[in-house]
Amino acid sequence: MPRIGGIFVTGTDTGVGKTIVAAGLALGMKRRGWQVGVMKPIQTGAAERGGERGELYSPDAEFIQAALAGGGKLKDSPGEPEAGVAHSPFPFNPHTPYVLREPLAPLVCARLEGLEIEPERIIKASQWMEEHYSYLVIEGAGGVLVPICRNYFMIDLIKELGFPVVVVARASLGTINHTLLTLEALRSRQIKVLGVVLNQPTPSQSGICEQTNPEVIQSLGQVDLLGVLPHSPAISLEKGEVGNLEELVQKHLDLEPLIRALERPSSPLPYLQRRRSALLKELDRRYLWHPFTQMQEWTRGEDLLVIERGDGVYLEDSDGRRYIDGVASLWTNVHGHRKREIDQAIEDQLTRIGHSTLLGLTHAPAIELAERLIKIAPAGLSRVFYSDNGATACEIALKMAFQYWQQQGEVERASFVYFENSYHGDTLGAVSVGGIDLFHRLYKPLLFQAVRSPSPYCYRCPHQLDPLSCGLRCLDDLERIFKKQADRICALIIEPCVQGAGGMLVAPSGFLRRVRDLCDQYQVLMIADEVAVGFGRTGKMFACEHEDVQPDILCLAKGITGGYLPLAATLTTERIYAGFLGDYSQKRTFFHGHTYTGNPLACRAALANLDIFDRERVIERVQERSRQLAEGLGRLWELEHVGDIRQKGLLAGIELVRDKSSRDAYKFEEKIGIRVIQKARTMGVILRPLGDVIVLMPPLSISARELDELVSVTFEAIRQVTEG
Ligand SMILES: *Cc1c(COP(=O)(O)O)cnc(C)c1O
């Protein structure tokens, strides 16, 4: 069946004759040979069939249906069973998902009946309708700001259904104001308006107002007027009489603009799309400098992807290709792209303010989020300091720890302990405690003093021990460091459970706990950098929970906004916070801050992110998916060049080696990781490697089917590149 589309018919107000116009438009479309489906998502003031307490039905939907069926009188007739309804998979009629008794706003009506309208039901119904008709006419209820459920209006539903809109207004005094307000509201949400129909629902004289309205609305509203539908005594919605509607539509409404718009494909023509895409790539090569990228290769390479949009776990590029986002847009995305609740939270905040500072002022999103973070964070953390990315969250932690001890009078404590293979960001403070030589060594002369402790990299254990029986020998080194110089150390910084950028190195169990105990024993502050592992990634909200560890300072970023906006937070205990209190003149203030610290849009996104964790029981789902991932990855052991597979929750690293028995690595120039992910791209999966380690880090919302595909493409890509 050819997919043509549909329209959403909304009124500027209730009682403007929307239903008659919708029926007229549906007729006009049917006349073009399109198979028209009628939907009335929410009928309020429903009619009752067969007297008292009979079956409720939507008189509006039935009226339109009757018009399409060729007219006639339908009152008290049982009504034709509508096409396809019998086969719908829903326990409700998809043509009329909500039929409510009272003639009130949907939200109020629903509450009176003790229920809550769920937009999901309507969306699902419309998707089903789209599959069964080539063209939908959807009729709203009242105007665009009619409330449907909490924080959700008719206009939100219109936006979500995605159809262009026809606005029906009453041809009378007051119409200009109502119509312009409606148009403004629709346009502010980027909803396409196809035109306005002026309707005369009641007999009226043709006064000066009726004569001038059409022109004024067209010019001030910058909108097509599809016509003025005159009143006809032969048409009656109440009596279910379609009368001469078809004739009136033919005579008075111009449906051409509407039909033209619908027949024009909404996406640009393929050759235009290709040209635009090529131009973007050319401009990228001319003007951009990409992070962690050898630009000489980038500018010569072919495989430049311009990502245009996302949807769930999928990304779509400027050439219209779709990919699974296998690394959650660099470890950030949590519930998928275009997650309705987060989109909505940001949009709502935008109607208030985009940014305001936390220096000298405060705002609700930052306050509410701080409370929420403290409530879910490991016990003992009681204060939230915002910034805008993971590196700054760590910088702040380091500076806080340092200044804390300075103000405690322990001025000797000026050094930090970090782990080999650790990564805490790319600013110089974070680099000082970074343990990846490839990234960090060059900057050595610029860095402050810090002591390196061995990494829990069990596959290449420095002591060549087995993690099941090693007794955490690598922590003996840490203890030696503490023993020797704890009084000169302000803090230890650690990525709990998994060293991310270092190669997805999963620490043996008990490691984190033992580090905490050593810190306690030697009175060293513990900074937990959960920038990568926080927010459900490892199957707990925070990785520290796996070993019941309470850090002194916790760094959060990446997933905090669900992967939408840059935001970070450094959480501390009351003890550290109190160390900064004093008279103004004592200068114990923490003199640190970033201009966009605690940005309200980002905080709103973060709050919506946390809501979804609760509502959709994300952590439980992650645990289920993690088991599936473990099973799927098991198959990769059979590949000749897979040396190690490391997984924690929905995060995994697959280390490729030239020789499995000797564990010899590939040569750097072989770019084995890059070649594998390039191969995966041709199979519809986007990954980013860490050297020879292939990383899988999908959005937590990934479905079982999508995860299967991600794993099998990874398997195939590794096999073809390393064995092919
Ligand atoms: C990504 C990351 C950072 C740095 O975060 P940015 O937002 O890129 O500055 C810090 N620590 C860990 C563990 C990370 O994974």
Q: Which atom of ligand 1 is nearest to the CA of 530?
A: 13
Let me know if residue 717 belongs to a domain. Answer: yes
CA of 556 to the centre of ligand 1 (A): 9
Cα–Cα nearest to 721, from 689, 674, 668: 674
CA of 332 to the centre of ligand 1 (A): 10
Same domain, 322 and 214: no
Percentage of residues in the chain having pLDDT higher than 70: 94
229, 263, 297 - which closes a domain:
263
- Window from 72-76, 203-207, 362-366, 372-376 with minimum mean pLDDT: 72-76
Q: Tell me the best of 506, 558, 564, 594 to mutate to test the pocket of ligand 1, counting ligand atoms within 8 Å of each CB and taking the most.
A: 558
Task: Show Cβ contacts of residue 387 under 8 Å, excluding neighbours closer than 6 positions.
Answer: 393, 395, 396, 568, 569, 570, 594, 597
CA of 186 to the centre of ligand 1 (A): 39
Amino acid symbol at 290: H
Checking if the pLDDT of 134 tops 70, the result is yes
Same domain, 279 and 424: no
Q: What is the pLDDT of residue 4?
A: 63
Let me know if residue 375 belongs to a domain. Answer: yes
Q: What is the pLDDT of residue 151?
A: 87
Q: Which domain holds residue 419?
A: 365-580+588-616
Same domain, 303 and 443: no
37 lines ligand 1 (CB under 6 A): no
pLDDT tens digits, 462-490? 899 999 899 999 999 999 999 999 999 99
d(CA 566, CA 556): 11
Same domain, 212 and 226: yes
Q: State mean pLDDT over 498-516.
A: 97
CA of 376 to the centre of ligand 1 (A): 21
Q: What is the pLDDT of residue 173?
A: 81
Checking if the pLDDT of 58 tops 80, the result is yes
398 lines ligand 1 (CB under 6 A): no
Total Cβ atoms within 10 A of residue 387: 24
CA angle 691, 692, 698 (to 5 degrees): 85
Let me know if residue 355 belongs to a domain. Answer: no
532 lines ligand 1 (CB under 6 A): yes
263, 297, 327 - which closes a domain:
263
Say which residue, 271 or 461, is predicted with more confidence. 461
Say which residue, 653 or 254, is predicted with more confidence. 653
- Window from 61-70, 152-161, 262-271 with minimum mean pLDDT: 262-271
Same domain, 547 and 675: no
Let me know if residue 342 belongs to a domain. Answer: no
Same domain, 62 and 190: yes
Q: Which residue, chain included where needed, has tokens 């089917």?
A: 705
388 lines ligand 1 (CB under 6 A): no
Same domain, 304 and 379: no
Mean pLDDT (the chain) is 91
424 lines ligand 1 (CB under 6 A): yes
Checking if the pLDDT of 72 tops 80, the result is no
Q: State mean pLDDT over 331-351.
A: 96
Q: State mean pLDDT over 441-446.
A: 94
Let me know if residue 346 belongs to a domain. Answer: no
Which residue pairs from 640-647 have beta carbons closer than 8 angstroms and sit at least 24 positions apart in sequence? 640/722, 640/723, 641/718, 641/722, 641/723, 642/718, 643/459, 644/459, 646/459, 646/498, 646/504, 646/505, 646/506, 647/506
Domains held by the chain: number: 3
CA of 498 to the centre of ligand 1 (A): 13
Q: What is the pLDDT of residue 216?
A: 86
CA of 599 to the centre of ligand 1 (A): 19
Same domain, 595 and 629: no
Same domain, 25 and 162: yes
CA angle 528, 532, 536 (to 5 degrees): 95
Q: What is the pLDDT of residue 211?
A: 74
419 lines ligand 1 (CB under 6 A): no
CA of 454 to the centre of ligand 1 (A): 20
534 lines ligand 1 (CB under 6 A): no
Same domain, 308 and 414: no
Let me know if residue 527 belongs to a domain. Answer: yes
Say which residue, 659 or 214, is predicted with more confidence. 659
Q: Which atom of ligand 1 is nearest to the CA of 557?
A: 7
Pairing state between β 642-648 and 651-656 = antiparallel
CA of 389 to the centre of ligand 1 (A): 7
Same domain, 309 and 370: no
Residue 2: pLDDT band by 50, 70, 90 thresholds? Answer: very low
Q: Are 533 and 507 in contact (CB under 8 A)?
A: no
Question: What is each CA distance from 38 to 22, 85, 95, 415, in whole angstroms?
Answer: 9, 12, 6, 71
537 lines ligand 1 (CB under 6 A): no
Q: What is the pLDDT of residue 130?
A: 83
Q: What is the pLDDT of residue 78?
A: 39
567 lines ligand 1 (CB under 6 A): no
CA of 198 to the centre of ligand 1 (A): 57
Q: Which atom of ligand 1 is nearest to the CA of 533?
A: 13
Q: Is 313 helix (H, G, I), strand (E, B) or coil?
A: coil
531 lines ligand 1 (CB under 6 A): yes
Checking if the pLDDT of 208 tops 80, the result is no
Checking if the pLDDT of 218 tops 80, the result is yes
Checking if the pLDDT of 73 tops 60, the result is no
435 lines ligand 1 (CB under 6 A): no
d(CA 257, CA 335): 39
Q: What is the pLDDT of residue 44?
A: 93
Q: State mean pLDDT over 519-534.
A: 98
Q: Are 34 and 135 in contact (CB under 8 A)?
A: yes
The single-letter DSSP state of residue 68 is H
Q: Which atom of ligand 1 is nearest to the CA of 390?
A: 5
d(CA 330, CA 543): 18
Percentage of residues in the chain having pLDDT higher than 90: 72
Checking if the pLDDT of 179 tops 80, the result is yes
- Window from 170-179, 317-326, 557-566 with minimum mean pLDDT: 170-179
Cα–Cα nearest to 114, from 103, 100, 97: 100
pTM check: above 0.85: no
Q: CA 604 from chain center: how many Å? A: 12
Let me know if residue 682 belongs to a domain. Answer: yes
Q: Tell me the best of 436, 531, 556, 648 to mutate to test the pocket of ligand 1, counting ligand atoms within 8 Å of each CB and taking the most.
A: 531
CA of 247 to the centre of ligand 1 (A): 67
d(CA 671, CA 135): 51
527 lines ligand 1 (CB under 6 A): no
431 lines ligand 1 (CB under 6 A): no
Checking if the pLDDT of 3 tops 60, the result is no
Indicate which CATH number applies to the domain containing 303. 3.90.1150.10
Q: What is the pLDDT of residue 215?
A: 85
500 lines ligand 1 (CB under 6 A): yes
Q: What is the pLDDT of residue 724?
A: 83
Helices 474-485 & 511-522 angle (0-180, nearest 10) = 10
Residue 77: pLDDT band by 50, 70, 90 thresholds? Answer: very low
Considering only CA atoms, which residue is closest to atom 8 of ligand 1?
A: 390
Considering only CA atoms, which residue is closest to atom 11 of ligand 1?
A: 424
Q: State mean pLDDT over 30-34.
A: 83
Let me know if residue 61 belongs to a domain. Answer: yes
Indicate which CATH number applies to the domain containing 218. 3.40.50.300
CA of 493 to the centre of ligand 1 (A): 13
Q: Are 404 and 490 in contact (CB under 8 A)?
A: yes
CA of 510 to the centre of ligand 1 (A): 24
CA angle 329, 333, 337 (to 5 degrees): 90
Q: Tell me the best of 424, 431, 688 to mutate to test the pocket of ligand 1, counting ligand atoms within 8 Å of each CB and taking the most.
A: 424
Question: What is each CA distance from 292 to 238, 283, 681, 691, 711, in whole angstroms?
Answer: 68, 19, 19, 12, 26
529 lines ligand 1 (CB under 6 A): yes
- Window from 355-359, 421-425, 466-470, 570-574 with minimum mean pLDDT: 466-470
236, 263, 290 - which closes a domain:
263
Rounded to 5 degrees, φ, ψ at 130 are -60, -30
Checking if the pLDDT of 261 tops 90, the result is no
Q: Which atom of ligand 1 is nearest to the CA of 566?
A: 7
- DSSP E strands in 318-374: the ranges are 322-325
CA of 424 to the centre of ligand 1 (A): 5
Indicate which CATH number applies to the domain containing 515. 3.40.640.10
Q: Which atom of ligand 1 is nearest to the CA of 499?
A: 13
Same domain, 658 and 600: no
pLDDT tens digits, 196-205? 999 887 777 6
390 lines ligand 1 (CB under 6 A): yes
CA of 671 to the centre of ligand 1 (A): 23
